[in-house]
Structure 1
Amino acid sequence: MHNFRKTNTRPYLDSLKKIGVGLCLLFIFSCGGTKNYDLLILNGTVYDGSGNTPIMADIAIKDSMIVMIGNLDDAIATQTIDAQGLAVAPGFIDMHTHLEPIMELSSCESHVRQGVTTALGGPDGGSPWPLGSFMDSLEAKGIGMNVAYLVGHNTIRRNIMGLENRTPTPTEQRAMEAQVDSAMQAGAYGISTGLKYLPGTFSNVEEVIALSKVASKYGGIYTSHLREEGLGLFDAVAEAIQISEQADIPVVLTHHKAIGKPMWGKSSRTLSMVDSARARGLDIKMDQYPYTASYTGISVIIPSWSMAGGLEAFEKRVSDPILRDSIRNGIVFNILNDRGGSDLNRIQFAKVEWQPELEGKTLKYWVEQKGLEPTVENGAELVIEAQLNGGAACVFHAMAEEDVTRIMQHPQTMIGSDGRLVEPGMGHPHPRWYGTFSRVLGHYVREKKTLSLQEAIRKMTLLPAQTLGLTDRGQIKENMKADMVIFNPETVIDKATFEKPHQYPEGIPFVIVNGNLTVDNGTFVDARSGKVLRKQ
């Protein structure tokens, strides 16, 4: 029989428990007290997008989301940005973007370098078709920024009616409405019109209202290149307001302007019309690019009736001396009173596939190159020749600075580049393709004091996000998507000019798309972290 001695083990057990608890607490504080983040932005001046006064704060990002804002001195992350002396803002949302080359330029570098993290495509009545399958293909390819789309009225009308100058039959109207419905179900954010362009110019307001009602049913918006932006501007704004009222749909007067010398200064009246409509409860906004020149096809100064039926029909009309004389007179009128700015030097060729050496040159230059007197009549004849050759894209220097400033200062004006994705060497583009957002920040905020910095940022971020119904973007808040731009408010500036447009802006060292650095200390990173956004 073994004789065991009883021993009191309680003190030893208590000691072990104390040691275990201490080790656990040490583990908790060492591993859990300072969280691991993907990206930290420290010491920045944070503009949250609301228009409020900025604050000094740190921001933590994890898994594409903003997860913490405050003092994060003790936090650790895979990457850290010291934003001392820099402005930290939500990524800019471009309300008017020509995304047509996105399959070829899917990195979206020319936009991302401006601080744009989300772009709205399908403007001016033109959009991909079928929209749903196109967006599927875009998702599969991968893109450098977030994109959303409108369905284009011109695209829909061309699908059903071609370029015919008439009202649709009831069957055709129903077919167009069905296509709008299909696009909205696929995730479109609304409908756009280009009522100055073919074939939208042939539509009446009843047709547009009926199509807009379909978009409204899904909570969409209506954006419009107005029927006229020159002498007919007031009637065109009234038409857009009528569409808002009768279709029960928010309206954006896109790239709002007053074009042509007779209309300079008249934006005061169009803004009063917007204010009056809003006072009646209508949701009317605008977007704008910060330049006194527009960019579009040279056909915009050709009477639209002459182009019904397409190029072949146009060729027949200009071969008839009487019709040609009427067409030429219409072009002369538009040069003097509309986009021509009353001067052949104000029409600058941008993309001319049939004679690339004209790119960057003016209509006056071409007239003189032909050995002709630089008269408006001779300019009109060469406009006809250009259209017969297949058309050309032009920059039209025909707006007044006072209107640009007045429209920009309106509280319901957003910023939209009306820019096309581009890379250096592609034609002679409008400088807005490279410089819209940095021009607002550098020229209009810092140099001209047209806007405060926080108000300019609101126009580029929260206001467009609210317009589109984007509840997780457009503002720096916890649990929002980490789309951000970090820039130097003392140096940010556009470099692209009308003479040398292929230049990226300066003063934007960091851009973040869905939590991923796409511009890192001034170097573009082809991260393809953008998303195709679909309206839910």
Structure 2
Amino acid sequence: MPLETQGEKLKNDPILRRRLIDIANRPYDGPEVLGAEPRPPEWNTFYVMDRIPRPHRSVAAIATERGVTPAEAMIEVALEHDLKVFFRQPFANENQDDALELMKHPCSNVTFSDSGAHVSQIMDSSLQTHLLSHWVREEGAFTLEEAVRMITYDTATSWGFHDRGLLREGMIADITIFDPDSIEPRMPEVVNDLPSGAKRLKQYAQGMLATIVAGEVVLKENQHTGALPGQLLRGPLFFR
């Protein structure tokens, strides 16, 4: 059903709206939720993500301010944005002090991700730009040099790719050029470009100037150049 139609129904059908609110307010009696699958809302940590920088306002706080239930507040906020607004509910590492402690642990590998296993729910490709913008530039928790090493050398060597991760003669020339003063993730967007027309999240970065793979420029200011020098890499633990 198109978003416009959904919005009209939510605005003009009070019975449907009441039914959705009642369902959201029911106690959860389903299976234990462990991963990225849909979960019952925890309204105090269920946030309106209308911009990248934190803090984001919780739906619980908005509901208290408006004198309605959290489910009603969520519907109201969604309608105010024509249903084009993100809500986020973290399931790990929301406490930033705990997250920083983990990141600083010498056994942690901070900035790698599958970046696509749950394409309609999770956007992990902003981990690196978030590290550079938030933890380096805004918080000063890491130096720029420390963060670059975490993104490059530490990750490459952890996965057994010893010909990558350093700018050194004889190494594979995989290079990213960025502006440290403006680097940050942009807001994600929803696109329907999978083969079946299904949706996925897509996110670009601000301040990302070029990506070079094996010496060839493949991305320039977020635009693909048409070059395809990459290849599938398999680490030493790969089993046929």
- Encode CA deviations 1:61-108: one digit per residue, 9 max, x unaligned: xxxxxxxxxxxxxxxxxxxxxxxxxxxxxxxxxxxxxxxxxxxxxxxx
| Alignment-derived partner of residue 297 in structure 1 | 37
SS in 1 for 2:217: strand
In structure 2, do the counterparts of structure 1 residues 465 and 513 end up closer, same or farther at CA, with 3 Å as the change threshold?
Answer: same
Match 1:527 to one of 227, 231, 235: 227
2:103 aligned counterpart, secondary structure: helix
Query: Which one of the candidate residues 461, 473, 497 is aligned to 2:152?
Result: 461
Aligned pair 1:483/2:174, yes or no?
Answer: yes
**1:456 Cα deviation (Å)?**
0.8
When Rg is computed on C-alpha atoms for both structures, the one with the higher figure is 1
Q: Percent identity?
A: 24
Q: What is the RMSD of the two structures over their aligned residues, measured on CA atoms?
A: 3.8
Of 142, 158, 166, 1:451 maps to 142
Aligned to 1:412: 107
Number of paired residues? 162
Quote how far apart the aligned CAs of 1:530 are: 1.2
Q: Which runs of 5+ in 2 are unaligned?
A: 1-31, 49-57, 61-68, 72-86, 191-200
Q: How does 1:213-232 map to 2 (within 5 A)?
A: none
| Structure ranking higher in helix proportion | 1
Give the structure 1 partner of residue 21 of structure 2.
Answer: none
Deviation at 1:412, TM superposition (A): 2.8
Q: How does 1:506-521 map to 2 (within 5 A)?
A: 506-521=206-221
Q: Distance in 2 between matches of 1:413 and 1:455?
A: 13
Distance 1:479 1:395, change over 3 A: same
Q: Name stretches of at least 5 consecutive residues in structure 1 with no aligned partner.
A: 1-200, 202-226, 229-294, 302-334, 349-361, 365-372, 376-393
CA distance in 1, matches of 2:127, 2:117: 13
1:493, CA displacement in angstroms?
1.1
- Establish whether residue 505 from structure 1 lines up as the match of residue 205 from structure 2: yes
Q: 1:465 to 1:432 in 2, by over 3 A?
A: closer
Instruction: Give 2:137's aligned amino acid.
Output: R
Q: Is 2:188 aligned against 1:492? A: no
Q: Distance in 1 between matches of 2:173 and 2:217?
A: 10
**Deviations along 1:431-455, whole A, 9 cap, x unmatched?**
434x221111111111110111111
Pair 1:418–1:400, CA change in 2 (3 A): farther
Cα 1:488/1:374, change in 2 over 3 Å: closer
- Matching of residues 2-21 of structure 1 within 5 Å: none
Question: What do residues 444-490 of structure 1 show as CA deviations (whole Å, max 9, x unaligned)?
Answer: 11111011111111111111222122121111111001111111111
**Aligned letter for 2:112?**
G
SS at match of 1:411: coil
Distance 1:496 1:490, change over 3 A: same
Higher relative contact order (CA 8 A, sep 6+): 1
The one-character-per-residue Cα deviations of 1:330-352 (angstroms, maximum 9, x if unpaired) are xxxxx6xxxx5x4276289xxxx
* TM-score relative to the length of structure 1: 0.26
Verify the 8 A CA contact 2:173 2:214 in the aligned structure 1.
Answer: yes
TM-score, normalised by the number of residues in structure 2 = 0.55
**Number of the residue aligned with 1:442:** 133
> What whole-Å deviation, never above 9, does each CA across 1:141-181 have from its counterpart, x for those lacking one?
xxxxxxxxxxxxxxxxxxxxxxxxxxxxxxxxxxxxxxxxx
